[in-house]
Amino acid sequence: MTLVRKPRYILEDQCTGCTTCVEYCPVVYPDPFNQEISTNKAIHIYFAQAVPLITYIDESCLYLKEKKCGICEDVCENDAIDFNQTAEEVEVKVGAILLAPGFEPFDPKAGNHYGYGEMQNVVTSLDYERLMCATGPYEGEIRRASDKKHPQKIAWIQCVGSRQVNPPGGNSYCSAVCCTYTQKQVILTKDHNPDAECTVFHNDIRSHGKDFERFYQRAEELPGIRFIRSYVSIGKEIPESKNVTIRYATPDEGVKEEEFEMVVLSIGLNPPADAVRLAEELGIELNPHGFCEVNPKNPMETTKPGIFVSGAFQGPIDIPESVFSASGACSQCGELLDYRRGKLSRERIYPPERDVSGEEPRIGIFVCHCGANIGRIVDVPSVVEYAKTLPHVVYAQEQLFSCATNCAKEITDMTKEMGLNRVIIAACSPRTLGPLFQDTVREAGLNQYYLEMTNIREHCSWVHTMEKEDATEKARDLIRMSVARAAHLEPLQEIDLSVNPAALVVGAGVAGMTCALSIANQGHEVHLVERDHDLGGKARSIYQTLEGLDVQAYLRDLVHKVYQNPLIHVYTDATITDADGYVGNFATRVVSERGTTEIRHGATVLAVGADVYEPSEYLYGEDDRVMTLLQLEEQINRGSEKVTDAQGLVMIQCVGCRNEERNYCSRICCSESVKNALALKKINPEMDIYILYRDMRTYGFDEDYYREAADNGVKFIRYEPQDEPVVEAGESEEGRPVLKITTPDYILGKKVEIDADIVALAAALIPSAGSREVSQLFRVPLNPDGFFQEAHVKLRPVEFATDGVYLCGLAHYPKLLRETIEQAYGAASRVLTLLSHDAITASGSICEVDENVCIGCGQCVSTCAYGAVELHKTRQGKKAIVNPVLCKGDGLCTTKCPTRAIQLKHFTDDEIWAQIDAAVETAQIPSKI
């Protein structure tokens, strides 16, 4: 592949991001990162937390245009400006390509949607994100363009550029993310200004994601919030106030026109701007919407082998799906290139560690400017001078960017030269750069736990921008406290744990089997455990997907591959009786048709699936003409005449969920109903099909099928939970025995009565019966709805907080087959990031019990969320003992211990007390507190 590296006109190794050049640059230019609401300079850093955090020069530069100016070259102290840079061709040879070019926000200017670009106070939702953001155009204050005032009365218009066929210019599909991001914006707006009045004009509310339904309720229940179901148009801009009017209609009040101070357009997701060029260059195909054409059996596969796709280029998807489709694509790259794994990486070798235990503390302090981040607020040179006066401090200096490679080397060199045995870096949070600086001190031959970081950025300069003197004083205090702590620091050893290369996958539905195959195809043994006698899970009762995939054929092929793979061991009729161990070294006891087996494995994947709710509503179980959607699908595929010859068929959505007992949406039922309606219309076009729904949630490209169903004469009637349909046995006018369904029709404004031969219920997906037991065995949490709770909803969607335990499929939340497949590959990739290493390193900062002081009360045992503390019998009675591998070093147990027998290493009482004592000089403490 030939890549073109665009010139940055900056020498990346020399730029420190100090932003002096930005100050002097005379060119003021709309800032694309802030949606052109605010301005920036021709030379600037892309955004405050950019990686890399260095400047670049854009095309607005005077020198680049007319060879004028060049001020930045003169003011740069590091000679980092290089106007002679040209576009550079780089050739790379790769074994696989992963496309993740994302999406392009819909541009409402193009079709003149809702006055955007003409009326100043009409903004897009992305504009609004920047307006709310602390690094945005008004530093986190929501102001409107016309008069820079804070708007009080704000309206959101949903589906801008989405779900739109007429007039042309929009996209027919649903962008899937706008409903929830609007609710988020409403909640945040109320945080900014509790008096704000927010109105959301919407079509269906699509809260189909995990926890989305509760989030919607949270937004809806806030005071001053209105959700109005109505199509709208922009009325006019009021000349004096620049307010904007919106025309809408409600069933009760008819057409109304209302004035708003600001209007936010909830814009959808378009394909990436250069999708066509990218597709041509790489020889892949695009779908009719201009997104990547993918394999329906594997949405991460493009039409060209070796080229994979993840994220929003697959179609409009949310962040968690972007994350697990990325991991999923990686697992497939791994299957392809397994033979090259690890051949290109290099091992790091550190110098031997110096024993400093007999020495007096010799502390060195490095105070970082962090470009202007700290230096502009805190008087760094005076802090350095002060630091030199503190006890045990033998060296102090300032640095522009301690994390820059040259500065890190300086720290290593000075540590060696001055014989330092404690290093303090006063800079940012240890959460971000702690590991890097631990490395730096190791390079100097010191144990990495002799590093102490003082956070004078997040805890000081960033929060005291207006109080420079006080901030400097605080920086001094924080450093004095760090010095006191550093003197007490002790060297700690990290443990290397061997990793068992095998994996255990619990549940052999599509999720479990797909995950197992991908792991096995990368050379690892997999134990696949299934409760049932047969493999396949819920997919066994699905015949087709909405896109037309033959699910049974797909499943047969999958099961065949699983049994064919010599690295996969299948256990059916299995029960897990015991699960023990920790990341890299689990032991699980399984009773199956093979007898009792103790499986040793390094990673665990939970793919236990879900169950279908058995309805108690709508005569289900009493009248055999009432069935679930799955039963309907089975009868359609069997060619049951009872179903195919029906004159009238009614489907009722949201049966058993979106209610008090199960406050979530089952996500897939709307698409499933549309699928079955289309199938029935194909067999019997005369059939009267009604779908009674609350919100149709055919998100993404499935919207096209919803429209197709409506075009084919399927009737959609909305109902509300307080006025549910009623199903009764009765007779039609001709005397035919039918089911009579009475439901409100809000468009007609009255109740309608429908005769049906069949009623199909969209029964909820509910957590699998065994999930609670599994969650207890593997010590992983469930969410309030009973589905498994991942480590982080957005960023760690396929793993648990417990190391080495992963999750995929319906066990996580209801999802479509293609999403299950993606998530299964995603979990496989995360498993591989663990299993492809021979060993993992456990932190040295863990808890330790002094048995002489421990009274065996067990408070620490019940406090520990990781099961890391146990009581064991000794001659002196019961004593607590910490498993160093399970301990995460959160220190909760130390707060419970009545005798201070349990201590968290690196944060011992002595260290913390020393730090606190140094906070205020004794003389300043009032005698009474």
Partner 1 sequence: MESEPKGTQDQVHRSLADSIREGFEGNTFGDVMVVGGGISGVQASLDLAASGFKVYLVDKAPAIGGHMAQLDKTFPTNDCSI
The first and second tokens of residue 565, run together, are 């793979």
Q: CA 421 to CA 361: how far, in whole Å? A: 6
Residues 6+ apart with CB under 8 A from 489: 422, 449, 450, 452, 906, 911
Closest CA to 671 of 698, 648, 652: 698
DSSP annotation of 119 reads: B
Q: How far is the CB of 434 from partner 1 (least distance, A)?
A: 18
Virtual torsion, Cα 44, 46, 52, 56, nearest 10 deg: -40
Contacts of the segment 405-409: beta carbons below 8 A, 24+ positions apart: 405/13, 407/366, 407/368, 408/436, 408/437, 408/440
The first and second tokens of residue 831, run together, are 């498993």
Helix or strand (DSSP H, E) at 592: strand 585-592
User: By the 8 A CB rule, do 516 and 561 touch?
Assistant: no
- Alpha helix positions (H), 206-343: 212-220, 275-282, 319-337
Regarding beta strands 244-250 and 232-237, do their DSSP bridges make them parallel or antiparallel, or are they unpaired? Answer: antiparallel
Residues 6+ apart with CB under 8 A from 626: 618, 619, 620, 727, 739, 758, 759, 760, 761
The first and second tokens of residue 301, run together, are 């596969």
User: Strand, coil or helix: what is 648?
Assistant: strand
Q: CA 403 to CA 440: how far, in whole Å? A: 10
Half-sphere exposure of 866 (CA within 13 A, CB side): 25
Q: CA 131 to CA 144: how far, in whole Å? A: 9
Q: Is the Cα torsion angle 816, 821, 826, 827 positive or negative in sign? A: positive
Q: How far is the CB of 250 from partner 1 (least distance, A)?
A: 28
The first and second tokens of residue 398, run together, are 């300032």
Q: CA 124 to CA 112: how far, in whole Å? A: 13
Nearer to partner 1, 43 or 816 (CB): 43
Regarding beta strands 765-767 and 758-763, do their DSSP bridges make them parallel or antiparallel, or are they unpaired? Answer: unpaired
Nearer to partner 1, 51 or 747 (CB): 51
Q: How far is the CB of 335 from partner 1 (least distance, A)?
A: 11
- Which amino acid, one-letter code, is at 539? A
Q: How far is the CB of 2 from partner 1 (least distance, A)?
A: 11
Half-sphere exposure of 577 (CA within 13 A, CB side): 10
Residues 6+ apart with CB under 8 A from 729: 619, 623, 737, 738, 739, 740
Q: Is the Cα torsion angle 866, 868, 871, 876 positive or negative in sign? A: negative
Q: CA 380 to CA 408: how far, in whole Å? A: 18
Phi and psi angles of residue 641, each rounded to the nearest 5 degrees, phi first: -70, -30
Residue 674 CB neighbour total at 10 angstroms = 26
The angle subtended at Cα 462 by Cα 460 and Cα 465, nearest 5°, is: 95
Phi and psi angles of residue 19, each rounded to the nearest 5 degrees, phi first: 65, 20
Phi and psi angles of residue 513, each rounded to the nearest 5 degrees, phi first: -70, -45
Q: CA 892 to CA 789: how far, in whole Å? A: 22
Residues 6+ apart with CB under 8 A from 918: 480, 481, 483, 484, 485
Residues 6+ apart with CB under 8 A from 220: 227
Nearer to partner 1, 96 or 892 (CB): 96
Closest CA to 335 of 511, 516, 512: 516
Q: How far is the CB of 1 from partner 1 (least distance, A)?
A: 6
Q: How far is the CB of 191 from partner 1 (least distance, A)?
A: 8
Closest CA to 173 of 106, 234, 127: 106
Q: Which residue has the tokens 């994601």?
A: 209
Closest CA to 117 of 127, 125, 109: 109
Q: How far is the CB of 338 from partner 1 (least distance, A)?
A: 9
